[in-house]
Amino acid sequence: MNLESGLFPRKTDDVLHGPMTMGEVPESHPRYASLMSRQRLVDAMKEGLLADSALIAHGRGEAFDYLLGEQTTAGATAAITEVAARLLIAKQPVISVNGNTVALACDELLQIADTLRCPLEVNIYYRTPERMAGLLGRIEERATALHLNHVEILGANPNGRIPGLDGPRANCCQEGILGADVVLVPLEDGDRCEALVAMGKQVFVIDLNPLSRTAKTATICIVDEVQRTTSALLSRLNNPKDSDPHFDAAASRRAVLEVMLEALERD
Ligand code: ATP
Ligand code: MG
């Protein structure tokens, strides 16, 4: 990734040169955004920020995104609007991030945290000291580049546990996830999503798989790609609509599933 700009690497960036890279990808390439996301993840993997299974998880997400034509659908847009409204009226919101999320949408999530004046907490499934330090370092680096050093970054010193989960994946911060009423957790695991909902929190997730346990158990699942969603969410936070307490999360999820089913039937 271009650490200067935090933007997608351009063909002039070093990252796209040399025998270990994809080679030059012109911006006119129809799969440019997808290829750049892959490059970001490959870079993050080499930097030790990701778990071994991270690329597999991304690949499965890509398959669903292919069925969406790599576009945000109306069902997802409705969910983004409602999530924005609820984040703005939350008492103690928090954004929980993992390795893939940091690799793909760190800047947007820092800007969202700034808008909401809420902390960002690193909370990873496969917690190792090296990965935690690497992710915290990356987020701090981007916060500095964006002049957002005032955004609180949590996760280094967990002082609480999510009830009902075993092992290090339960570790979290009282002043972050544990004490929050609303958690935006872009890419979450089904188990932890269930556990957070069981604690009485509103849990907002982003997951391209409308059939996952995460998608089905979250308070609201935005069935869309994480970078597109975080950009759209940031815009909506700056131009919000009123919250609808009767928002039908299942209907929004199913509306996106319908678009995928239509794609399968079209050919
Ligand atoms: P669950 O944990 O909910 O039961 P799972 O175990 O099948 O589901 P995970 O391995 O926890 O899934 O997470 C991988 C999922 O993350 C993918 O199937 C995909 O839907 C989602 N995903 C991966 N990359 C992205 C992305 N860039 N944007 C949105 N969603 C993504
Ligand atoms: Mg899972």
Domain boundaries, the chain: 4-67, 74-265
Q: How confident is the model at residue 266 (pLDDT cuts 50, 70, 90)?
A: confident
Q: What is the C-alpha separation between 36 and 93, in angstroms, rounded?
A: 31
C-beta separation of 215 from 79 below 8 A = no
As for ligand 1, residues whose beta carbon falls within 6 Å of it are 57-58, 60-61, 64, 100, 104, 187, 189-190, 206-209, 212-214, 225-226
CA-to-CA distance for 207 and 140, rounded, in angstroms? 25
Q: What is the position in ligand 1's atom list of the atom closest to the CA of 212? A: 3
Fold designation for 74-265: Rossmann fold (3.40.50)
The closest-lying atom of ligand 1 relative to the alpha carbon of residue 125 is 11
Atom of ligand 1 nearest to the CA of 226: 28
Q: What residue's CA is closest to ligand 1, atom 13?
A: 57
pTM of the model as a whole: 0.92
- Measured in Å, residue 214 CA sits from the centre of ligand 2 at 8
Task: Report pLDDT digits (tens) over 75-99.
Answer: 999 999 999 999 999 999 999 999 9
**143 vs 133: CA distance, rounded Å:** 15
- Does the pLDDT at position 126 exceed 90? no
Ligand 2 midpoint to CA 191 (Å): 7
pLDDT higher than 80, residue 34: yes
Residue from 208, 213, 227, 233 to probe ligand 1 pocket by mutation (most atoms less than 8 Å from CB): 208
R_g (Cα) of the chain, nearest Å: 18
